[in-house]
């Protein structure tokens, strides 16, 4: 890990390359480009985070109920291992919404009906979950 030291408006970064000279190992980065600490979220930003799209909330709820990681669910649904975790994260954050084929693959991977993802009412979503679980138990 590079060592850093701040001098005036410049930040000095020492790289750990043994074959490089001292001058080559030290690079100046302007202070305004250096990493700044993040500000705490405002109430509005926190509320917006909680207000995810319906599909995103239901997907996360279903995944956690089944006990899968984002990566394992993505791989089980047929995504490439290299992108499974980040793609599932984008779906759960509401950044992207999958096409209908992917929704069906996710539902099958979770062992639930795709209708669960679109239930606006929590009680109805619970009933869909229970009916799906009961039909799977009866089918075994």
Q: pLDDT tier at 96 (50, 70, 90 boundaries)?
A: very high
Q: Where in the chain is the domain with CATH 1.10.260.40?
A: 52-139
Q: Note the Cα 126 to chain centre separation in Å.
A: 24
- At the fourth CATH level, the homologous superfamily of domain 52-139 is lambda repressor-like DNA-binding domains (1.10.260.40)
Distance CA 76, CA 74 (A): 5
Taken in order 66, 72, 74, 78, is the CA torsion positive or negative? negative
Does 88 have pLDDT greater than 60?
yes
In the chain, % of residues over pLDDT 70: 70
């Amino acid at each position: 890990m590079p060592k850093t030291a701040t001098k005036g408006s410049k930040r000095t970064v020492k790289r750990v390359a043994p074959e490089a000279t001292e001058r080559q190992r030290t690079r100046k980065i302007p202070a305004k480009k250096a990493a700044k600490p993040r500000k705490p979220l405002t109430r509005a930003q926190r509320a917006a985070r909680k207000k995810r799209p319906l599909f995103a909330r239901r997907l996360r709820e279903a995944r956690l109920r089944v006990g899968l990681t984002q990566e394992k669910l993505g791989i089980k649904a047929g995504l490439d291992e290299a992108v499974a975790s980040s793609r599932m994260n984008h779906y759960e954050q509401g950044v992207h919404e999958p096409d209908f084929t992917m929704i069906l693959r996710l539902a099958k991977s979770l062992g639930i009906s795709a209708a669960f993802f679109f239930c606006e009412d929590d009680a109805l979503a619970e009933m869909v979950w229970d009916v799906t679980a009961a039909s799977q138990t009866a089918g075994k």
